[in-house]
Amino acid sequence: MIEVPFTLSGKAHASDAGSQWKRKIILAVPHTFPWVLARQKVCGRTEINLSPIENSIETLQRRVTELKDELQRVADQFGRSLASLGSLATPSAVAAAAAAGAVAALQSAPTATPRLSSLQALLQGSVRVQVHGGVYEICQAFPVSANVGGRHLQTLCSVLQELLCVCRRALDVDKTYIKNEQVAFHHELENGFTELEKLVVQYIRDATLATATSPVPVSPMSSPGTSFTRCHSPPEVGEVTPLPPPKRGSTSCATPLTHVRALL
């Protein structure tokens, strides 16, 4: 899959999240990689255009996943498993349990010092509201008043809430084993989280009140790991037209195609 950012003005990157589109190009090949050959002919091509709000939701979902993975890595340093997370129902519960498991793992081995540099870098890019393309910019780009009844408003609020939960637990992990020379940096992260929490809580409260009075139902978007639905109003530059699959019994691709080199 290839991801290509674009804007309706023709530029690749926009100055704000409200104008940033993204095109996903999915290429199909006859056999799954790894294969005996390093290259295969492309048998199909599908393009999916993500609207700016869909693109922002995916960005936040990716950050949540990165934080969870980092918390899991910290827990794994102490031989703790968080495999039971898959049985939990809500995303916020999953995030809380993942982070709580990491905290418990740290507390169970007080003599150990985990490597927190990666976790701190993710936190810095998540809780500071002035980060380009961050939560503050996303909330400003998609005000509740302009998205009431939109099918992605509820999903955006859900992902924002999950991000808050994971960041809070990650800060707890960082505080547990912070070094003396990093205390000031941790306080900056705490202050950034406080501002972020106020922003997100107010945004979710406004969205909840607006949705309750809106006659249009809000349907959630697909969860992370699944493909997004196509935009109802895609831009003119990216109409989605999947190519037909190869004919049954044919050993070659049905259409003239380029080659794809496997990423090994």
Sheet with 21-28: strands ordered across: 2-6, 21-28, 44-50
Tens of pLDDT along 189-234?
Answer: 999 999 999 999 999 999 988 877 765 444 444 444 434 333 334 4
* pTM exceeds cut of 0.75: no
Q: What mean pLDDT do residues 79-94 have?
A: 42
CB 51 within 8 A of CB 150: no
Backbone phi, psi, residue 39, to 5°: -130, 145
Mean pLDDT is lowest, of 97-106, 109-118, 164-173, for 97-106
The DSSP code for 32 is P
* pLDDT (average), residues 235-254: 44
Helix, strand, or coil (residue 128): coil
Which pLDDT does position 120 carry in this prediction?
92
User: Span 122-134, mean pLDDT?
Assistant: 82
DSSP string, 199-254: HHHHHHHHHHHHHHT-SS---PPPPTTSPPPPPSS--GGG---PPPPPPTT-SS-S
